[in-house]
Amino acid sequence: MKEQTKLVTTGRHPERYSGLVNTPVFRGSTILHQSMAEWEDKKKRRAADEHGASTYGRFGTPTHHALEEAVAELEGGFRSQVYPSGLAACATALTSLLSAGDHVLLTDSAYSPTRGFLTRVLGRFGVEVTIYDPTVGAGIEANIRPNTRVIYVESPGSETFEIQDIPAIAAAAHRHGAKVVMDNTWGTPLFFKPFQHGVDVSIQAATKYIVGHSDAMLGIVTCTEETWPLIKRTTQDLGQTAGPDDIYLALRGVRTMNVRLRQHWKAGVEVATWLENRPEVEKVLHPALPSHPGHELWKRDFLGACGLFAMVLKPASPAAVEAFIDSLQLFGIGVSWGGYESLIIPFNPSGDRVAAKWPYTGQALRLHIGLEDPADLIADLEHGFETLKHADPQLLAV
């Protein structure tokens, strides 16, 4: 079946729900059983890890199981588990696989709250973290120690957009008995197939493109058959679950993901290409542009691009950059991404980076290209650049 068709059919069981097209929102804590025999049977099926055999709301309702079924199929993994946020998914995946005395290799391009969790929380429990250059590729092997259990990858980084050579990193990890955990939020389950490239655990901040409308928070971890029991056990030990209303919104988002993402991809490339030719712009960091240092790897491993990328402005005064951002009408100022609306946010990676030096001096800005007409977004940015130049007369010369 083609992916577009899978998005429509996956995780749906109308025959179980009076013929309703969508799995309803099931709210519940207690799950009643008709007899002791049914209770014992359910417990047995749950112990045997039968998907959907739940004895309590925390272990999921049919709403939870529908989304888990859908994402496992789309990511191409064995099983998925939902979490109340993307960061909860990252934190639980890492807690599942790491113990005191273990060593983890973390890409310098990782989502910074994930870095914070590893260093601040797991660090307190005796997990050692080494930050590596995201572009290291097969060279990662030199960083692997006898106690390295996890290599954490995020490709591309969601601020700095380095593409990682995941198959090379996975091959090195597996030679040394380490697992590869990937934050696959940018690639989405449609544009990067983690398990075909050697990933052992894949994470989606479903808050982004799966929910797709900036109206719910959710995370999902998808596993191989080998990593699933550990993730599941730890998830239950930590009491992790998510609300069925948010999950319903994510399931609704799944159905339109292909059409939305193809539009984000096309419009994102159009705006990025236009920006690349602007004299005020030092560099555009978009993996689908041939000028991107990771473009060849992106072409080899990815099936598309989402609407998130960055640009670095030529050096301009902070007041001029502020005037530029403030002048934009169609770009909201805010974090997160993956909704239908365009966003812009300044960032400064130079302070955090330890393994891969950030080479730019101008202001870096992350853009999310939403579902507006790209011509309107370009006109908005063009007007913004006029404001920028007038606020910084030196730039008028460029």
**Residues lying near ligand PLP in the complex (CB under 6 A):** 85-87, 90, 111, 158, 183, 185, 205, 207-208, 217, 219, 336
Q: Which of 83, 111, 152, 209 is catalytic?
A: 111
- With respect to ligand PLP, which residue has the nearer C-beta, 83 or 324? 83
- With respect to ligand PLP, which residue has the nearer C-beta, 133 or 246? 246
**Smallest distance, ligand PLP to C-beta of residue 246, A:** 10
- With respect to ligand PLP, which residue has the nearer C-beta, 205 or 267? 205
**Smallest distance, ligand PLP to C-beta of residue 123, A:** 19
- With respect to ligand PLP, which residue has the nearer C-beta, 103 or 366? 366
Cα distance between residue 267 and residue 92, in whole Å: 34
Q: Is 83 a catalytic residue?
A: no
For residue 25, give the nearest of 253, 247, 254, 252 by alpha carbon: 247
Which residues are within 8 A (CB) of 292 and not within 5 positions of it... i.e. 6 or more apart?
161, 163, 285, 286, 298
Residue 31 burial class via C-beta count within 10 angstroms: exposed 0-12, middle 13-18, buried 19 and up: middle
**Smallest distance, ligand PLP to C-beta of residue 378, A:** 25
Cα distance between residue 184 and residue 148, in whole Å: 21
Residue ranges of alpha helices (H) inside the chain are 3-9, 36-47, 62-75, 86-97, 112-116, 166-175, 188-191, 228-237, 244-255, 257-276, 295-301, 318-327, 374-391, 393-396
The residue of the chain with the least Cβ separation from ligand PLP equals 86
Using the structure block, give the residue that is written with the tokens 């001029």.
Answer: 320
**Smallest distance, ligand PLP to C-beta of residue 182, A:** 10
Q: Is 183 a catalytic residue?
A: yes
Q: Which two tokens stand for residue 340?
A: 């239908």
What is the SS3 string spanning 182-197?
Answer: EECCCCHHHHCCHHHH
Q: Is 215 a catalytic residue?
A: no
Q: Which two tokens stand for residue 118?
A: 């590893």
**Smallest distance, ligand PLP to C-beta of residue 144, A:** 24
Q: Is 58 a catalytic residue?
A: yes
- Which H or E element spans position 79? strand 79-83
Residue 344 burial class via C-beta count within 10 angstroms: exposed 0-12, middle 13-18, buried 19 and up: buried
**Smallest distance, ligand PLP to C-beta of residue 342, A:** 16
- With respect to ligand PLP, which residue has the nearer C-beta, 55 or 214? 214
Q: Which of 42, 46, 58, 262 is catalytic?
A: 58
- With respect to ligand PLP, which residue has the nearer C-beta, 144 or 247? 247
CB 167 within 8 A of CB 197: yes
**Listing from the earlier edge strand, what are the strands of the sheet with 281-285?**
281-285, 308-313, 364-368, 343-347, 332-333
| Residues labelled as active-site residues | 58, 111, 183, 208
